[in-house]
Amino acid sequence: MDDRTTLPEPTWAVERDAPPRRNVWQAMARGIRCRCPSCGQGRIFRAFLKVADACPACGEVLSHHRADDLPAYLVIVIVGHIVVPIALWIETNYAPPVALQLALYLPLTLVASLALLQPVKGAVVGLQWAFRMHGFDENHQDDIEVGSVVNIKVAARK
């Protein structure tokens, strides 16, 4: 038997076992509309900022999300980039009394922040779902414990 005719069994391949790609922009757009990133039908939230454990329409498990504080940070950045330029422009051109400015900017900031929190959190959950982050990857293996030592053999070069 000639050993040169048989190729070795591939031990590693990126694309062979990879699950199908998910459309990131579609998932984020569905999240902005507070809909399930998978089907776009079921509501993603069961309360104001509480993500449902699973989609009521398609059953996609949504409890794997780890949005944490990212939506709040993003809302601060977005609202800050809207309110601060408006405040600077009005102050530069009209210089109204401080009380009037506070009466305008504080409610505007509050309302804009509350209005954006749900869509931004939905988009973050959609992003995590599309990239199969955290538990959204159905092929995720929990065989590596946090803090465990992984032995890596490195071939010595001559």
Smallest distance from Zn ion to CB 40, Å: 7
Residue among 44 and 116 whose Cβ is closer to Zn ion: 44
Q: Which distant-in-sequence residues (6+ apart) come within 8 Å of 34 by Cβ?
A: 43, 44, 45, 118, 119, 122
Question: Measured in whole angstroms, how far is the alpha carbon of residue 121 from the centre of its chain?
Answer: 7
Residues in region 29-48 near Zn ion by CB under 5 A? 36, 38-39, 42
Smallest distance from Zn ion to CB 37, Å: 8
Residue among 105 and 132 whose Cβ is closer to Zn ion: 132
Task: Confirm or reject binding of residue 64 to Zn ion (CB under 5 A).
Answer: no
Which residue type does 108 have?
A: L
Looking at 28, 55, 116, 130, which residue binds Zn ion (CB under 5 A)? 55
DSSP state of 25: H
Q: Give 63: exposed, middle or buried? Use CB within 10 Å, 0-12, 13-18, 19+.
A: exposed
Residue 62 burial (CB count, 10 A): 24
Number of residues engaging Zn ion in binding (CB under 5 A):
8
Residue ranges in contact with Zn ion by CB under 5 A: 36, 38-39, 42, 55, 57-58, 60
